[in-house]
Structure formats: structure tokens, C-alpha cells
Amino acid sequence: MHRVTLIPGDGIGPEVAEAARRVVDATGVKIEWEEAVAGEAAMAAYGTPLPDETVEQIRRTGVALKAPITTPVGEGFRSVNVGLRKALDLYCNLRPTRSRPGVPVPYHNVDIVIFRENTEDLYAGIERMIDENTAEAVKRITRQASHRIARAAYEYARKEGRKKVTIGHKANIMKLADGLFLNACREVAEEYPEIETEDAIVDALCMRLVMRPSHYDVLLLPNLYGDILSDLCAGLTGGLGLAPGANLGEGAAVFEAVHGSAPKYAGLNKANPTALILSATLMLRHLGEHEAAARIDRAVDTCLARGQTTYDLGGPLGTAEMADAIIAAL
């Protein structure tokens, strides 16, 4: 029996969370789901979008599956995602992306895994107003954080039989900050001589990804670049509706769909639940339930190949019906 914290989220979150829970339960893996609140619902009940009770519950279970949460733009409360990463030291953002059958995209040979450092860089949120017309943000990179995300990437590559790691950076311009990240990653790379290592300036990397994505295997990036490139790679394979994600730390792991909460579609049974369902497969692998994860993954591919999907991919199904189809394909 595994204990998992389930955060239903905002907008379409509760619908896709229920779909993912049903699919996981249909595999026969025994999960004790413990619901917790975050986001707008928590703001109304607790006066904060991320209650201490939710953070403590994730610490107790060690694992959470989180549906999308609304983050106000430019005002309001700060991102719950950032809050969770800081509170639980979820330093590793894992974003696998691969081509899937039946999805109308230009490429059908993409299989890339992104490792994004999750705790520092510009996303550390160190900002200040110098005067009313000037804002300043600090880009902070440390050797310790760079070492541990690099080690996570190389350990994954070794375990999964991946052949190459590409380090993305802008060290030609930010010679100190990005230079430190690049050098720290190279130091770790020396411990894995069987894995090819290359580095790429991030703007050129973006261009080459859309021209020849099959060249890349594992990407290793600091926080900001990793955020941007993980969405770019998702676009190569069908969009965020198919993009799973994981945030990993030493004592906790939070698995999430990375798309928004789409409040205008809430309650309409239209949202694609696939991203959260695939995030649940990452969760199952983390829990050691590899066979169940592989069964869900194959079932998703079966449904996509048959055109059994939601409107965003040109299919006729609603959220609940998509979950039904995946369960039937198991």
C-alpha cells in the first residue's frame, strides 16, 4: 500500500485529478489517496494558497500528485509551485517528452528528457525596485546546486541507458553565473565517462531543437532556460496536454501536469487529462510500480493511435471519457 497526497487544484484541476486517480486505481496498484488543498480553494479557507498543513502532509507521505493551480500574473499570491519547491527542496525538475502515435506534429522521432535545476537562478525571486522606474533581479547560481542537478541527470542517463547529456548555458555572455553552472556540470560529467557530454549555447540549442530534435537525448539546464526549453520540447510532441512533469527532492516528490488551470473550461468535461495521467506514470515508477506505469503508458499510446482523445488533439472525447478509454485499453 502506497500513501499519496492528491492536490485537486483549481479550474480543470479536479476533473483531471479524478481522471488520473481512476486510471491509477484501475491498474490494481494499492494507493491510499490523501487529499490536500492548495491554490484558490486554500486561499479562501486558510488565507494562504499553500497551507502549512498541505506541506506537512506531503512530507509525511513523501509523494504527491498535483493538478494545475492558478497563479495570478503580476499580482496576487506567489506561485504555489515555487512555494512547494522551496519548502520541500524539490531541486530536480524532470520533464520527459517523446513522440506519440496519432498526434499531428511534424516530428515522430523525439525522445528527450530535460533535467532543470529547480531552486535558484532568476527564479529564486531575489528582486527589488531601485527606483520607481527601475527593477532589478538577481541571478544566483551555486556550485552545490549545479552539482546535484548534474548528478541527477547523469545517474538517470546511466540507469536508463541514455547515451548523451547536453548542457545548456549562456556562458559566453554570463561568464560567471552560467560559467559556474557549466563548469560544475563538467566536473560531474567526468565521473560518467561512458556518457557523451556536450554543451550548447541556449539560443542556438533552441534553434537546433526545432530543426533536428533527434540529435538530443538528455538536456541539463539551469532554472530559467529549463523552464523555457521544456515547453519548447513539449510543443514538438503535441503540446502541454501531453507533457508530464516531476519535481524531485531527497525526502519528497511532487508529480504534476505543467499546463495551466484553464478556469474557463472548469466543469465542462473538455480538458485533456493525459498530462496528469502520464505524470502519474512517473509517480508509479518512483514508487517502484514499473509494470503498472508501463501499462498506462501503452494504453495512452493505444488511445492516441485510435484517435480516442479530447478536442485539443482533434478527438471526440471528454475528460471522463478519455479516462474511460485509457482504462479500457489497460
Nearest one of 231, 254, 284 to 9, comparing CA atoms: 254
Is 165 in contact with 196 (CB distance < 8 Å)?
Answer: yes
Q: What does DSSP assign to residue 25? A: H
Which of 52, 107, 163, 203 is flagged as catalytic? 203
Alpha helices in 212-318 (DSSP H): 223-236, 274-286, 290-306
pLDDT tens profile 111-153: 999 999 999 999 888 999 999 999 999 999 999 999 999 999 9
Q: How far apart are CA 186 and CA 142, in angstroms?
A: 14
Q: How far apart are CA 105 and CA 19, in angstroms?
A: 25
Q: How far apart are CA 237 and CA 105, in angstroms?
A: 6
**227 is an active site residue:** yes
pLDDT tens profile 87-116: 999 999 999 999 999 998 888 899 999 999
* Whole-angstrom Cα Rg for the chain: 20
Q: For the chain, which domains are there? A: 1-100+237-330 (3.40.718.10), 106-225 (no CATH)
Burial of 172 (0-12, 13-18, 19+ CB in 10 A): exposed
Whole-structure pTM value: 0.93
Asked if pLDDT for residue 73 goes beyond 70, the answer is no
Which of 91, 123, 154, 216 is flagged as catalytic? 123
**170 is an active site residue:** yes
Which of 178, 227, 297, 324 is flagged as catalytic? 227
Which of 10, 66, 91, 170 is flagged as catalytic? 170
Q: How far apart are CA 37 and CA 22, in angstroms?
A: 19
